[in-house]
Amino acid sequence: MSRVFPRGDDDKVQSPSSTSPPPAESMIFPSTFTVWKKSSMSFDCMDGFTVFDSRGRLAFRVDNYSRSCRWLTQDLVLMDGEGSPIMALRPKITSMHEQWDGFEGEGSPRKTGRGRRVFSIRKRHMANHKGQAVVNIGDDFSVPDFYIEGNYSKRCCKIRRVTGEVVAEICRKQASTSDAVLLGTDVFSLTINPGFDSELVMAFVVAMDRISWKYFIPALFH
């Protein structure tokens, strides 16, 4: 099986020293992550995310949630590589556009008050917005701050600011043994451009995954 995390200086996964690249580095160079749609708890019956940085270190994780019913879902918790909560993601059941909200979690560096809503993401209203989904920061819903264009389900999309600036890009990951071979859609690459918050972008990705809902079948039933 091809390795799902990027090859770093060592052949082993290094212990996480931080969730994101050093601030100075992330302000100059794009940050590249390998996203594996599998819980780091390694139980086949659990859906989730395991995310490695460009050096093969565990950067983010979402553990132990089920997709068996889209309407009876619990909060999702985005954590750093050490398991510290960054943000809680919650569905807004009454929304007509499959809205998900991101709230500050314990240990979030942007925390100014417990439970403050950081963003809302929802499927676009075709008459008003371009892109597959739109994102509003905070509680202001008058004008979207970001939008997602392309097709997330096919792992081919971009996150843009409303000005058109590309924030991040999701694409299929190539196998390390051959540039011509693409891995399945459960493994993909996330590239975040300099100056953007990798924690916030990763929260967008997790919420987008729920908006682009697909019935989850545990591997043991395949």
- The domains of the chain are located at 27-214
The pLDDT value given to residue 115: 72
Q: What percent of the chain has pLDDT over 70?
A: 63
The pLDDT value given to residue 64: 61
Local structure of residue 174 (DSSP, 8 states): B
Alpha carbons within 13 A on the beta-carbon side of 12:
3
130 or 144: whose pLDDT is higher? 144
The pLDDT value given to residue 17: 41
Distance CA 51, CA 96 (A): 31
The pLDDT value given to residue 140: 83
The pLDDT value given to residue 202: 97
Other CB atoms within a 10 A radius of the CB of residue 9 amount to 7
In order, the DSSP letters of 20-78 are S--HHHHTTS-EEEEEE-S-TT--TT-EEEEEE-TTS-EEEEEEEE--S-SSS---EEE
The pair of three-digit structure tokens given for residue 156, joined into one six-digit string: 């081919």
CATH number of this structure's domain 27-214, picked from the four choices 3.40.640.10, 3.30.160.100, 3.60.15.10, 2.40.160.200? 2.40.160.200
93 or 122: whose pLDDT is higher? 122
Q: CA geometry: angle at 184 spanning 221 and 193, to 5°?
A: 130
pLDDT band at 125 (very low <50, low <70, confident <90, very high): low
Query: Has residue 122 got a pLDDT over 80?
Result: yes
196's enclosing H/E stretch is: none
20-78, pLDDT tens digit by residue? 555 556 578 899 999 998 766 655 546 789 999 999 999 999 986 555 555 555 678 99
The pLDDT value given to residue 41: 62
Query: Is 1 in a helix, a strand, or coil?
Result: coil
141-179, pLDDT tens digit by residue? 888 999 999 999 999 999 999 999 999 999 998 776 556
**Burial class (CB within 10 angstroms; exposed 0-12, middle 13-18, buried 19+) of 65:** buried
Lowest mean pLDDT among 72-81, 104-113, 136-145: 104-113
Query: Has residue 218 got a pLDDT over 50?
Result: no
Query: Has residue 108 got a pLDDT over 90?
Result: no
The pair of three-digit structure tokens given for residue 35, joined into one six-digit string: 């996203």
Q: What are the E-state strand segments in the chain?
A: 31-36, 47-52, 58-65, 76-80, 85-91, 100-104, 117-123, 133-137, 146-151, 156-161, 166-172, 187-192
CB-based contact 49:186 (threshold 8 Å): no
Average pLDDT over residues 91-112: 69
218 or 85: whose pLDDT is higher? 85
Nearest Cα residue to 33 out of 66, 64, 59, 3: 59
Nearest Cα residue to 32 out of 169, 185, 150: 169
